[in-house]
Amino acid sequence: MDTSNVRQHAEAHGQAVVRGDLDAVTADCVPELRPQVPEVAKALPQPTTSAEILSVEDAGDHALVEIRYSGDRDTVTIRSRWEEREGEGRPLIAQADPS
């Protein structure tokens, strides 16, 4: 897994969250995760004003990414699993959990 590529996509994903671009946020997820995006979004600060990549870890066939989302009053860290799937051409989020 190319962690520098994953980091680039994770940074763009975090900025999409800050912008409130739900279409871009959803497109960063594997199809089976997309219906869960609104539920994960409920865990984020409202409004979300910044996103910081805390870590990108190579785990063999996938990468584990932690992003800290901050708002005016609170912060939430989302730990996500990014995978490269055949035909997608870029890493996508396969799992995301607030921690």
Domain of 19, CATH number, reads: 3.10.450.50
Domain count, the chain: 1
Q: Report d(CA 23, CA 86) in Å as an integer.
A: 22
What was the pLDDT predicted at 1?
Answer: 87
Structural domain boundaries enclosing 83: 3-98
| pTM value > 0.75 | yes
Q: What percent of the chain has pLDDT over 70?
A: 100
Instruction: Answer whether 47's CB lies under 8 Å from 69's CB.
Output: no
To the nearest whole number, what is the mean pLDDT of the chain? 96
pLDDT tens sequence across 22-67: 999 999 999 999 999 999 999 999 999 999 999 999 999 999 999 9
pLDDT tens-digit readout, 82-95: 999 888 889 999 99
